[in-house]
Structure 1
């Protein structure tokens, strides 16, 4: 299990930090809070986003998620 911060995950996905925070608050992506920092399990987030992509139900479809392949490990 690889935990990443908001900044790391936003860089990997190619989206803004605030989008991840919004998705977390809406319960769209899983996260773990340790102290004052939110961490994301990279594999869990990828599974959730890929599942939403298949349904055509991405919160912000214009972002593309082109980097959600296995090369982000």
Structure 2
């Protein structure tokens, strides 16, 4: 795991963040998350989407290692 994941508690990693925050954590746009990582998105309401913090951070790690 990355250093970012190790610094957070297990509870914080399981928290569902709004999609805008998940986009910021992962370094990807909200649109990119919707198109390419739909399986990790959690529907919170009719117009509200979220993602677990651990998933958003892991996507950011994948992006860094691909570069």
Give the TM-score of the pair, scaled to structure 2: 0.54
Structure 2 segments unaligned to the other structure (5+ residues): 1-13
Larger helix fraction of residues: 2
2:57 alignment partner, one of 33, 36, 46: 46
Q: CA RMSD in A?
A: 2.7
Larger strand fraction of residues: 2
Give the TM-score of the pair, scaled to structure 1: 0.51
Indicate the residue corresponding to 2:44 in structure 1.
34
Structure 1 segments unaligned to the other structure (5+ residues): 57-73
Tell me by how many angstroms 1:13 deviates: 6.0
Aligned pairs, how many? 53
